[in-house]
Amino acid sequence: MDLRDVPLHIDREFIAHEPVMRVLDPVYWTAVTDEGRAAYDASLAAFSTRQRQALGVFWYGAEVDNGGHVQFFENSTGQVWRDALGGLEAMGLEAYAALLREAAERLGPDLPDDQEERQERLGFTGAQFDDLDRAFDKLRKEKDLLSALQDWVREHADDFLFEGVIRMPEA
């Protein structure tokens, strides 16, 4: 993928009319998800709590939608589970939050941020998530997570304003 420095101007008008993923471009393309929690936190230091939560909610939804809760926790993006949980709670999506909370609890106390440790925990605990994956699918039919995220971002537009240059694919 060819990345370039792309100037972005995300104002209230942009947020009101563009898809949520365009609004999240700055945080999405800046986040370092494959070098551990310290690198992730450092990469997002300039972003708001709501931006981090929105990214976590996006990753949770995308990974579970693609391969279930196992995929979410196995992949490097699984380290965002706390941000995702905080975002789901802030959005008032308690049913989604309950699923994520239960999935994390099945992996035992002090769920690690480190990807390899999470993968070991998945194998060691033999945690099963089929019931949670089915509940997620059912819930998604009632309340689409990406649509809810779009609404929440628009409701809190001031937390998503951005002016700057981001290294990303040019549109």
Residue recorded with tokens 């699923």: 99
Q: Which residue has the higher pLDDT, 153 or 112?
A: 153
Q: How confident is the model at residue 125 (pLDDT cuts 50, 70, 90)?
A: low
Q: Is 32 helix (H, G, I), strand (E, B) or coil?
A: coil
pLDDT of amino acid 127? 61
E strand or H helix at 12: helix 12-17
| Number of structural domains in the chain | 1
Does residue 95 lie within any of the structural domains?
yes
Q: If phi over 0 gives left and psi between -120 and 50 gives alpha, with beta otherwise, what is residue 161?
A: beta
Does residue 115 lie within any of the structural domains?
yes
Answer yes or no: are the C-beta atoms of 159 and 50 closer than 8 Å.
yes
Does residue 102 lie within any of the structural domains?
yes
pLDDT digits (tens, 9 = 90+) for 62-119: 999 999 998 998 888 888 999 999 999 999 999 999 999 999 998 877 877 777 877 7
pLDDT of amino acid 138? 97
By residue range, what is the domain housing residue 65?
27-151
Does residue 14 lie within any of the structural domains?
no
Residue recorded with tokens 């699918």: 137
E strand or H helix at 160: none
Instruction: Give CA–CA dist 84/72, Å, rounded.
Output: 11
Backbone angles phi, psi at 162, to 5 degrees: -155, 140
Does residue 145 lie within any of the structural domains?
yes
Q: Which of 135, 140, 121 is nearest to 61 (CA)?
A: 140
Entry pTM: 0.91
Does residue 86 lie within any of the structural domains?
yes
Q: Which residue has the higher pLDDT, 81 or 170?
A: 81
pLDDT of amino acid 165? 97
Does residue 22 lie within any of the structural domains?
no
Q: Is the pLDDT of residue 126 over 60?
A: no
Does residue 68 lie within any of the structural domains?
yes
